[in-house]
Structure 1
Amino acid sequence: MQFVLARRGFAAALGLSLALAPLAASAEDLTGTLKKVKDSGAITIGYRDSSVPFSYLGGDEKPVGYALDICYKIADAVKAKLGLPKLDVKLNPVTSATRIPLMANGTIDLECGSTTNNADRQKQVGFTNSHFLTATRFVSKKSANLHTIEDLKGKTVVSTSGTTNIRQINEANTEKKLGLTILPAKDHAEAFLMVETGRAVAFVMDDVLLASLVASSKDPGAYEISKDSLSKPEPYGIMLRKDDAPFKQVADEATAKLYTSPEGKALYDKWFTQPIPPRNINLNLPMSDEMKKQFTKPIDSPDPAAY
């Protein structure tokens, strides 16, 4: 009888150890960012201080924004994946110059802003599913009744000197024989002022930047941004470390779940079609058809043609 009980006790202990073995192995097998977060109990998010509405300082000088909200969702998913009762989310400021080095050296784990996901950057870092698609469009006064590229024929337009946008409008001018007079401006503010004062009928630039300029103008209702674009969509993505497949999988699953849910559309509208802090400006930038497609079937491709 004692022998039978002993055997049963051994079998129960063996069964328990076998049941716990996968969990122990799982913890031991963690690598990269997931191991770093598990060991430290913290995840560090890199934010921008003036990338409206993606990541910027709000009225209380605390970081807010569309991309930041997405990063918090990823952090929640990481916490759940690791089974952590608590996860310390740290915020670290980055600039266009420091964001990639700080990612590479382990200072930040996610970069939440308006960073373009392109082939060159993918040689250094990774990206999760694209959270925004920008494109080159033009802004004009509603009273000018300009809606398409063809409507600009024979007119004077402006773009900022040294940008890809001014190159694109020059190429379109040649290809479509538009007969445009194209003026270079020293910066975006000067270019918009030229439309405001009538020196040019349209300003050609990234649509989200145009939306910000319009929203901050004296009379936002007087302007419209074209639906016609002069470029393929340019994807912005949440940046993470390169060749860290387990962490990227968590980020991809979290962003795909968010974007394909009603919460994803609500989050977009919160930052792009409603008043935002601290000055309650409204970018009035509804989802483009490409963005609707991206939120239906999220991808992380750096190729504009994929969108």
Structure 2
Amino acid sequence: MSNYRKAQRSFWVSVCCLGLSSLALAGDRLDQILEKNEIVIAHREASVPLSYLDNGKPIGYSLDICHAVVESLKKQYKRPNLTIRYLVVTSQTRIPAIAEGKADLECGSTTNTAERRQKVDFTIPHFISTAKFLVRKADRIQKIEDLRGKTVVSTQGTTNIKTLHKQNDERVLNLNILESKDHAEGFRFLVEKKVDAFAMDDILLYGLRASAANPDDYEVIGKPMTIEPYAIMLPKNQKRLKAVVDGEIARMITSFEIYTLYKKWFESPIPPRGINLNVPMSFLLRDSFKFPTDKVND
């Protein structure tokens, strides 16, 4: 066989493989889950109290909601032995994990944005956070203007990085902006005094503060810079799977079951250290629960 014929054959084999891969991703995700009798749930390592690890086990508010979805799938499709396979993701890998078909659902602390909806779909929001700063109390920083000329960190792959750069440009703050690989590293930078503030969603900051050796040494400050509606991510254009997830979340909201779940994770002692975040449900979240919908204001 000539080199030309070999190259031509290799090309068409590659095209066929790519086509089969695309078909697999484009197929009905719910059918694939039922056929495999397995659902893959992506989760975070340190998004307390929404999605994190306790002795290697994924737990949290978002995980409990996803577990309820799995139970709904078991009942609706008579799959009592449907198993869960967990996949750890980061701020950088969570969207590719869903878009590329590595996971069926992402149950973490991901904000529904117009940019992200180009690659993935989102369900009804189950939490609403706002972007603020975590600082050392001894530094007496109370507002964003107090950070002028100082060093601030935020996590790679989050909406907070973009917000921070925008605030810096609009307010001419002359910030030195660093990017951490994850929330834990960002908080460690603050503890080690490598930065003056950590910009992130307030609920995650409360979780990090509560996990510190001396929580009273830190405080969450500033006016909300953005509103962050958290929702479960799933592959794009998977209407049947989305209907199941949205249906279960709507049921949890209208039955008030979600309020009990909220109290469990935000107003009660939580693993691993029995810390109580004492974060009452915000009026924004309460209002969103009055009329459950996947539509959000971008």
TM-score (norm 2): 0.71
Match of 1:26?
Answer: none
* Matched letter for residue 251 of structure 1: V
Report the residue type matching 1:125 in the other structure: V
- The separation in 2 between residues aligned to 1:34 and 1:135, in whole angstroms, is 33
Aligned equivalent of 1:108: 103
Matches within 5 A, 1:131-280: 131-139=126-134, 159-160=152-153, 163-171=161-169, 173-174=171-172, 182=175, 184=177, 187=180, 188-189=186-187, 192-193=190-191, 204-221=199-216, 223-226=218-221, 228-231=223-226, 233-280=227-274
Residue 72 (structure 1) aligned to one of 56, 67, 76: 67
How much does 1:248 deviate? 0.9
For residues 290 and 222 of structure 2, what CA distance do their matches in structure 1 show?
A: 20
Say which SS state the counterpart of residue 52 (structure 2) adopts. Answer: strand
Residue 160 of structure 1 deviates from its aligned partner by: 1.4
Q: CA deviation at 1:217?
A: 2.5
Aligned residue type for 1:243: N
- Please report how far the alpha carbon of residue 41 of structure 1 lies from its aligned counterpart in structure 2 after TM superposition: 3.1
Match of 1:5 in 2: none
Name the CA shift for 1:147/1:263 in 2 (closer, same or farther; >3 Å): farther
Between the aligned partners of 1:215 and 1:50, the Cα distance in structure 2 is 12
Distance 1:48 1:191, change over 3 A: closer
User: Match for residue 34 of structure 2?
Assistant: 38
- Output one character per residue of 1:187-211: Cα deviation in whole Å (capped at 9) or x when no partner: 53366348x89x95x6543212321
Q: Counterpart of 1:53 in 2: which secondary structure?
A: coil
Distance 1:241 1:204 in 2: 29
Q: Which residue of 2 aligns with 1:23?
A: none
Q: Which amino acid in the other structure matches residue 160 of structure 1?
A: V
Paired amino acid for 1:159: V
In 2 relative to 1, CA 98–166 (structure 1 residues): closer, same or farther, beyond 3 Å? closer
Separation in 2, partners of 1:252, 1:88: 19
5+ long unaligned stretches in structure 1: 1-30, 175-179
Instruction: State how many pairs are aligned.
Output: 261
**In the TM superposition, what are the counterparts of 1:47-86 in structure 2 within 5 Å?**
47-59=43-55, 61-82=56-77, 84=78, 86=80
Q: State the match for 2:13 in structure 1.
A: none
Task: Provide closer, same or farther for how the CA distance between residues 106 and 51 of structure 1 changes in structure 2, counting only shifts above 3 A.
Answer: same
| SS of match in other structure, 1:115 | coil
- What secondary structure sits across from 2:84 in the alignment? strand
Matched to 2:250, the amino acid is: A
| Cα distance change on mapping 1:107 and 1:165 into 2, 3 Å | closer
Q: CA deviation at 1:270?
A: 1.8
What is the CA distance between 1:278 and its match in structure 2? 1.6
Larger mean Cα displacement after TM superposition, 128-137 or 250-259: 128-137
Instruction: From the superposition, tell whether residues 261 and 228 of structure 1 become closer, same or farther in structure 2 (CA, over 3 Å).
Output: farther
1:289 CA drift (Å): 2.0
Q: Which range is displaced more, 159-168 or 112-121?
A: 159-168
**Shift in Å at residue 226 of structure 1?**
4.1
DSSP 3-state at the match of 2:203:
helix
Quick check: which has more Rg, 1 or 2? 1
Partner of 2:282: 288
**Aligned equivalent of 2:87:** 93
Conservation of the 8 A alpha-carbon contact between 2:51 and 2:62: yes
**2-side partners of 1:285 and 1:266: how far apart?**
14
CA contact (8 A) 1:110 1:238 kept: yes
CA contact (8 A) 2:40 2:87 kept: no
8 Å contact 2:50–2:109 — kept in the other structure?
Answer: yes
Question: Which residue number corresponds to residue 113 of structure 2?
Answer: 118
Cα RMSD of the aligned pairs, angstroms, is 3.4
* Aligned-partner Cα distance in 1 for 2:271–2:238: 35
Q: Secondary structure at the match of 1:135?
A: strand
Superposition pairs of residues 9-20 of structure 1, within 5 angstroms: none
Mapped contact 2:137–2:219 kept (Cα < 8 A): yes
Deviation of the 1:71 alpha carbon? 0.6
Instruction: Kindly provide the amino acid, as one letter, of the partner of residue 214 in structure 2.
Output: D
Q: Tell me which amino acid in the other structure corresponds to 2:228.
A: E
Amino acid of the structure 2 residue aligned with 1:210: L
Displacement after TM superposition at 1:156 (Å): 7.5
Say if 1:159 and 1:191, in contact at 8 Å, map to a contact too.
no
- Paired residues of 1:158 and 1:204 also in contact (CA < 8 A): no
The answer for unaligned runs of 5 or more in structure 2 is 1-26, 181-185
